[in-house]
Amino acid sequence: MQKPLIAGNWKMNMVINQGVDLVMRLRELIKGIDAVEVVIAPPFTSIHHLSHLVADSPIKLCGQNLFWEKSGAYTGEVSAEMLAAAGCRYVIVGHSERREYFKETDEAVNKKVIAALKGNLKPIICVGETLAEREKGKTLTKVRSQVKKALAGLAGSVVKDITIAYEPIWAIGTGKNATPQEAEEVHNALREHLFEMFGPDAVKDLRIVYGGSVKPDNIDDLMAQPNIDGALVGGASLKADDFARIVKFQHIA
């Protein structure tokens, strides 16, 4: 099994200087941490600048989105190759905000996942249900279908480079997180689904992380669940102390 992954999604926050301050402080706070993979996803405009600051630290960089073409007349888009050249090792794909505001479909997510892997980026693929879907008992059907479509056509050999982020939409930015048991139930179901899709060998190194109002005061209980392999953190990743505390969750603190 790979190390747990704690990823901070800065979303559309932090101009370059603010990002520099945050990374400098974070570097100090998590110095020497080796048991966790620490990833941050700043806005595109800061990535290259920050790549110099994280070079000799455990922090790895991640894009928040990409386009599936390599280059060309696609105004406003960024390719996997561009992100990798700017210093990224990871990229978030199919975040619910992109699905909602930018109308990203499962088919687009699949193309982006394939492009990311071809471009040497490890995709963090987001799936999750709305409150209405949860209340109708449709959570597992929804997330299984999102995962299946996102990974369509992929060989088992590349699955180890993929992370799934289970992010219930009703928990993102709302302060309402899924209970550790609710999250565990979905993670367990997703792991079984991936096992059926790709077989045991391919899936043993695949991480399933939880996202949605992860904070210093709930990370320990979430990470105590057997099928939660890390976290995708939004709001709390903008505060160095909070994010560092999340990185140092109970097991290793």
CB of 95 to ligand PGA, least distance (A): 6
- By CB under 6 A, name the one of 186, 209, 232, 240 that touches ligand PGA: 232
Is 9 among the residues that bind ligand PGA (CB under 6 A)? yes
Q: Cα(70)–Cα(80) distance, rounded to whole angstroms? A: 7
Residue 48 known to be catalytic:
no
- The dihedral through the CA atoms of 238, 164, 247, 169 has a sign that is positive
Residue 193 known to be catalytic:
no
Q: Give residue 252's identity as a one-letter amino acid code.
A: I
The site string for ligand PGA over 151-180 (x = CB under 6 A, - otherwise) reads ----------------x----xx-------
Measured from the CB atom, is 89 or 215 closer to ligand PGA?
Answer: 215
Residue 204 CA, distance from chain mean position: 18
Beta bridge partners of 61: 40, 88
Do 16 and 46 form a contact (C-beta atoms < 8 A)? yes
Measured from the CB atom, is 54 or 172 closer to ligand PGA?
Answer: 172
3-class secondary-structure state, position 10: coil
Residue 2 CA, distance from chain mean position: 15
Stretch that binds ligand PGA, among 106-114, 130-138, 143-151, 207-215 (CB under 6 A): 207-215
- φ, ψ dihedrals at 178, nearest 5°: -65, 145
- By CB under 6 A, name the one of 170, 211, 246, 247 that touches ligand PGA: 211
Is 63 among the residues that bind ligand PGA (CB under 6 A)? no
Q: Which of 37, 95, 97, 193 is catalytic?
A: 95
Angle (CA) 91 239 41, round 5° = 10
Q: Which residues bind ligand PGA (CB under 6 A)?
A: 9, 167, 172-173, 211-214, 232-236
Residues classed as catalytic: 95, 167
